[in-house]
Amino acid sequence: MRLHMRNLNLFLILLLLGLHLCSVLSWKRDEFRNCNQTPFCKHARSRKPGSCSLIAHHVSISDGELTAKLLPKNQDNVEDHDQIQPLVLTLSVYQDGILRLKIDEDPSLGPPKKRFEVPDVIVPEFSNTKLWLQRVSTETIEGDAEPSSIVYISDGYEAVLRHDPFEVYVREKGNGNRVISLNSHGIFDFEQLRTKREGEEWEERFRGHTDSRPYGPQSISFDVSFYGADFVYGIPEHATSLALKPTRGPGVEYSEPYRLFNLDVFEYIHDSPFGIYGSIPFMISHGKQRGTSGFFWLNAAEMQIDVMGAGWDAESGIALPSEKNRIDTFWMSEAGIVDTFFFVGPGPKDVVRQYTSVTGMPAMPQLFATAYHQCRWNYRDEEDVDHVDSKFDEHNIPYDVLWLDIEHTDGKRYFTWDSTLFPHPEEMQRKLATKGRHMVTIVDPHIKRDDSYHVHKEATQKGYYVKDAHGNDFDGWCWPGSSSYLDMLSPEIRSWWADRFSLENYVGSTPSLYIWNDMNEPSVFNGPELTMPRDSLHFGGFEHRELHNAYGYYFHMATAEGLVKRGEGKDRPFVLSRALFAGSQRYGAIWTGDNSADWDHLRVSVPMVLTLGLTGMSFSGADVGGFFGNPEPELLVRWYQLGAYYPFFRGHAHHDTKRREPWLFGERNTELIRDAIHVRYMLLPYFYTLFREANTSGVPVVRPLWMEFPSEEATFSNDEAFMVGSSILVQGIYTERAKHASVYLPGGQSWFDLRTGTAYKGGLTHKLGVSEDSVPAFQRAGTIIPRKDRFRRSSTQMVNDPYTLVIALNSSQAAEGELYVDDGKSFEFERGAYIHRRFVFSDGKLTSMNLAPASPGKSQFSSESVVERIVVLGHVHGAKSAVIEPTNRKVDIELGPLWLQWGRESAAAVTIRKPGVRIADNWTIKIL
């Protein structure tokens, strides 16, 4: 009987996995709910403008915040069972132009349960920036029957709480122009928790699954308007254009809202508002008229967001301010509370800085993690690993990380090794480490239900699993078959999980091993929409529906903390996660999931990565070459050429695809891929400096053009090109056999072709010939880029290599740039152990200045690295020599190649050879 049941279970596992893998062949839309099949979304979308009857009462200042009660205007005319309890509203103000609005049920009135507020996303230091409101002023607005309440936000902005009808908005002082508003159209709705009425049906059913919904409807919805906006952006993760298209209104293309619900979606389609692996409910507006503003709703339940097309409210009869270019949006969530943040900008970088001051700055990665990663599902065994590693050396292609997927484990039991395929894991890792390379292994959240598996056994004994609706350990299906999922909402369980990564507990691991969290949406093959049932129970008695979008975030958090613990707090972690939420930027990198080897997916990778960067997730990228399918060599080459500029640069492929390591497509294609990877390695000093900028300001590594050129309308919807920092513009090639590319180069200054040094005028669209050698990329006039031009096996072996500075002069014969250097791995940079230089070229002189603040007793970092070449583009004088100060040493100026590795193929440029100045020193080089 036991044998029979074991065979039956094995059959069921194989059947489920087979069905799961079959879905890889095409995305089946009917496996996932649409808005009409989602009661809270259908209910919210049916509401008409002006349907909200709430008004604000009892407005006062308490504990430095504005508080009020929200009640229906006509409460006396409704039956007792429809009585709405007062909602509690709080407005609080924080430094740097941030307004927070919270609305929740009044706990003193005894609601059936406490509604979920997302913990551990807002960084603790944010609370220290709260402004203590002293008073509230009043003003009668637009002929209202009673005055509105006005509070200070900053010197240029103030918040208005309109009492009747209820509305909250931010306006500019002086002219009164609105920036952002909530409930201007009167669609606010807050379904309060209540007792179930006799005969009432609360259960929901979808494709054979039943959601018990024990607390009934509890959704929230409201409209948010952005004034002076030409476009809105953000709310990842979707495979869509950078500028969000309208989803409702006359003549719109889409009928579904943008969905925020973390899902394991195979081979997602490339142009859809459908949600995929991550959810960040943060939207940015931008326009020439007003600038930039932002709105963030801290809520981890399923969310649906409509972008309204012009004229959607034509029949509403609501008179709104007649300012130009207002964009209306509609936000709907299944549960939670209103906990929203208004960011006033006014510039793009201001908004991103304001948002990341709430949710945290991006983590500073180790240097190796910013280089090239080689991955496949799966490298078969230790011999395969050794072969791939040696082939990179044979073909003179650098790489830093080799990855192992689920097949490296003993029967899909994480923290184990298949003893036949990987009998010597520590030796394997040490071989890579001798070349400065690292390994990453996968650790997913599903724990195999096997009593002989130590992780499962201990988690069961401690009661650490998520529970089903009946209070039993939840049992779902994933790669190992029957699996349970750790309740990562609990700090105790996260701490226990972190301990699993110690060298003692993770047998076979070494300090050079890092981690990949996949399937952490969480993916459940036999669950509704391939995820965990919404009525599953978590720590504190909260339902999974209330925190679903944050589950992967907590898993990512715990894993990153595990690597920090492993290194006794000395080394920075590297953890790649597929699922993400607001704040995920604090814990590592993410990637855009299971894309496909086609030109459309190459194309959509750019707006996806740009959107993630705008919403805090600077360290992201797409699988180079496409995860599913077999790319033609031309597509693969073009993807490497573009992917070399992603913040996270990894080649990855499904196990059913043909092998596609860089040397398998003929000598010429190998050369082209090698060149693309070499470009990334040469630019690593520039990238690492940008990662530090993101770490201190939130400004992403790669940026939409409008972030650098916010007043140029031609950039607002351009998502085929992007900026790497403020100095490099990259234009992808997204079609086969392309001979030409149209490239818009913004600004009034010139741009220099990154490969040839050819100058092009800014402010124009250029039709350029395209070669197979590279995608179009340009250095902006007025900038200085640090490079390292020597070839090494890995970034770790480049640490002491000399630098090249490439100076692109503007029309004033001036330029500037920065270089940030630290030890590349530890947290000592947080204690001041780094070098941060500013280079300024002006009046024929290049000066290196220290940007690192001086503080007594801080940690020290030193470097003996020198500058071996200085390349000057756009220099108008026939200089022959230069003098280095303060040593008063003279060096020659000559014409030299812009790129050493291309030799005679590279353009000649004015070059100062071997100036020999140390990057850590102050110095000046004067061209004579």
- Classify residue 471 as exposed, middle or buried by CB count within 10 Å of its CB (0-12, 13-18, 19+): exposed
Distances (CA, A) of 337 to 49, 68, 279, 365, 816: 21, 16, 17, 34, 47
Residue 80 is a catalytic residue: no
**E strand residue ranges, 518-641:** 575-577, 580-581, 589-591, 620-621
Omega of the bond leading into 299 within 30 degrees of 0 (cis) = no
Total Cβ atoms within 10 A of residue 756: 16
Contact indicator for 40, 217 with CB cutoff of 8 Å? yes
Name the DSSP class of 145.
Answer: S
- The confidence score (pLDDT) of residue 691 equals 99
Residues in the chain: 928
Residue among 105, 204, 306, 518 flagged as catalytic? 518
**Model pLDDT for residues 563-596, shown as the tens digit of each residue:** 999 999 999 999 999 999 999 999 999 999 999 9
- The confidence score (pLDDT) of residue 449 equals 98
In degrees, rounded to 5, the angle at the alpha carbon of residue 855 between the alpha carbons of residues 854 and 858 is: 115
Q: What is the mean pLDDT of each run of 10 residues along the chain (928 residues)?
A: 38 46 54 95 96 96 97 69 84 98 96 96 97 95 91 96 97 95 98 93 94 96 98 98 96 89 92 95 96 98 97 87 84 98 98 98 98 97 98 98 98 98 98 98 98 98 98 98 98 98 98 98 97 98 98 98 98 98 98 97 98 98 98 98 98 97 98 98 98 98 98 97 98 97 97 96 97 97 97 96 98 98 97 97 97 82 95 90 94 89 70 95 96
Contact indicator for 604, 589 with CB cutoff of 8 Å? no
Residue 505: both structure tokens together: 């507990």
Q: Measure the CA–CA gap between 888 and 19, rounded to whole angstroms.
A: 74
Tokens 């009869």 belong to which residue?
A: 317
Helices marked H in 104-167: none
Residues 6+ apart with CB under 8 A from 715: 704, 705, 706, 709, 744, 746
Q: What percent of the chain has pLDDT over 70?
A: 95
- Classify residue 791 as exposed, middle or buried by CB count within 10 Å of its CB (0-12, 13-18, 19+): middle
- Classify residue 807 as exposed, middle or buried by CB count within 10 Å of its CB (0-12, 13-18, 19+): buried
Residue among 230, 302, 594, 822 flagged as catalytic? 594
For the chain, the structural domain boundaries read 47-314+321-359
Name the DSSP class of 84.
Answer: P
Strand ordering across the sheet containing 728-731: 702-703, 721-724, 728-731, 777-780, 751-753, 759-760
Q: Measure the CA–CA gap between 445 and 493, rounded to whole angstroms.
A: 13
Residue 521 is a catalytic residue: yes
- Relative to beta strand 575-577, strand 513-517 is parallel
- Relative to beta strand 372-374, strand 401-404 is parallel
Q: Measure the CA–CA gap between 673 and 666, rounded to whole angstroms.
A: 11
Q: Return the bridge partners of 807, or none.
A: 784, 872
Contact indicator for 358, 123 with CB cutoff of 8 Å? yes
Q: Measure the CA–CA gap between 86 and 473, rounded to whole angstroms.
A: 38
- The confidence score (pLDDT) of residue 876 equals 85
Contact indicator for 201, 213 with CB cutoff of 8 Å? no
Q: Measure the CA–CA gap between 447 and 465, rounded to whole angstroms.
A: 9
Q: Measure the CA–CA gap between 62 and 88, rounded to whole angstroms.
A: 13
- Classify residue 206 as exposed, middle or buried by CB count within 10 Å of its CB (0-12, 13-18, 19+): middle
Total Cβ atoms within 10 A of residue 67: 16
**Model pLDDT for residues 37-84, shown as the tens digit of each residue:** 999 999 999 999 999 999 999 999 999 999 999 999 876 555 555 568
In degrees, rounded to 5, the angle at the alpha carbon of residue 135 between the alpha carbons of residues 130 and 139 is: 120
Q: Measure the CA–CA gap between 133 and 146, rounded to whole angstroms.
A: 22
Grouping H, G, I as helix, E, B as strand and the rest as coil, residue 59 is strand
Total Cβ atoms within 10 A of residue 742: 12
Contact indicator for 874, 885 with CB cutoff of 8 Å? no
Q: Which three-class secondary structure string do you get for 281-294?
A: CEEEEEECCCEEEE
The CATH number for 47-314+321-359, chosen from 3.90.209.20, 3.40.1190.20, 2.60.40.1760, 3.90.1150.10, is 2.60.40.1760
- The confidence score (pLDDT) of residue 858 equals 76
- The confidence score (pLDDT) of residue 316 equals 87
Residue among 521, 712, 818, 868 flagged as catalytic? 521
Residue 313: both structure tokens together: 């409210």
- The confidence score (pLDDT) of residue 247 equals 96
Q: Which of 141, 282, 215, 366 is nearest to 581 (CA)?
A: 282
Residue 71: both structure tokens together: 């009640």
Q: Measure the CA–CA gap between 215 and 161, rounded to whole angstroms.
A: 31
Residues 6+ apart with CB under 8 A from 15: none
- The confidence score (pLDDT) of residue 834 equals 97
Contact indicator for 919, 866 with CB cutoff of 8 Å? yes
Contact indicator for 101, 338 with CB cutoff of 8 Å? yes
Q: Measure the CA–CA gap between 52 and 67, rounded to whole angstroms.
A: 20
Label residues 559-568 b or e (16+ Cβ within 10 Å = b).
bbbbbbbbbe
